[in-house]
């Protein structure tokens, strides 16, 4: 049966991981949480990197979704303003031109954002390949 990691199963794992990430010495952590130094060393080498990667991925995904939602909302609002400015009873060419310029900016932003995401996905694949190779 594989040995259970005393830190992975520790109720204060988040706090311990946090201390490890900010660079507190293994010896100090083991003393503070009444753990063996070997357990801290093992956990830091074998379990911490994967967890950090997961946290980064989750945060990245949440941020991406949020930005996309905000862009979509802005886009809907801008289209509504453009429609209003083209209303025959209330025609406003000046506003229409300004709105079109805004929409162009938004499309540009969306395109750049998509490119960034594709790049990030590509980098992730390269990293995965490197991990397999090494
Ligand atoms: Zn562990």
Q: Same structural domain for residues 101 and 115?
A: yes
Q: Same structural domain for residues 121 and 84?
A: yes
- Residue 14 contacts by C-beta under 8 Å, 6 or more apart in sequence? none
Q: How far apart are the CA of 57 and the centre of ligand 1, in A?
A: 19
Q: Same structural domain for residues 58 and 107?
A: yes
- What pLDDT, in 10s, does the model give residues 13-48? 989 998 888 889 999 999 999 999 999 999 999 998
How many degrees, rounded to 5, is the angle at CA 21 between CA 48 and CA 27? 90
Q: How far apart are the CA of 46 and the centre of ligand 1, in A?
A: 7
Q: Same structural domain for residues 38 and 61?
A: no
Q: Please tell me which residue, 68 or 25, carries the higher pLDDT value.
A: 25
Q: Is the pLDDT at 2 greater than 70, yes or no? A: no
Residue 83, pLDDT score:
94
User: How many CB atoms are located within 10 Å of the residue 40 CB?
Assistant: 25
Domain count, the chain: 2
User: Is the pTM for the entire model greater than 0.85?
Assistant: no
- What pLDDT, in 10s, does the model give residues 71-125? 899 999 999 999 999 999 989 999 999 999 999 999 998 888 888 888 887 777 7
CB 84 within 8 A of CB 94: no
Q: How far apart are the CA of 17 and the centre of ligand 1, in A?
A: 9
CB 33 within 8 A of CB 12: yes
Residue 114, pLDDT score:
83
Q: Same structural domain for residues 67 and 91?
A: yes
Q: How far apart are the CA of 132 and the centre of ligand 1, in A?
A: 22
Confidence of residue 5 (pLDDT cuts 50, 70, 90): very high
Residues bordering ligand 1, an ion, CB closer than 5 Å: 5, 7-8, 43, 47
Q: How far apart are the CA of 56 and the centre of ligand 1, in A?
A: 18
**Residue 83 resides in a domain:** yes
Residue 123, pLDDT score:
77
């Amino acid at each position: 049966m594989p040995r259970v990691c005393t830190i992975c199963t520790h109720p204060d794992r988040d706090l311990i991981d946090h201390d490890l990430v900010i660079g507190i010495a293994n010896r100090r952590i083991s003393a503070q949480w009444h753990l063996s130094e070997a357990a801290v060393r093992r956990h830091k080498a074998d379990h911490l990197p994967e967890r950090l990667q997961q946290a980064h991925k989750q945060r990245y995904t949440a941020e991406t979704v949020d930005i996309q939602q905000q862009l979509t909302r802005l886009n809907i609002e801008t289209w509504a303003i453009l429609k209003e400015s083209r209303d025959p009873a209330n025609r406003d060419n000046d506003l229409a031109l300004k709105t079109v310029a805004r929409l162009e900016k938004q499309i540009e932003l969306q395109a750049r954002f998509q490119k960034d995401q594709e790049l990030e996905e590509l980098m992730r694949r390269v990293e995965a390949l490197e991990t397999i190779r090494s």
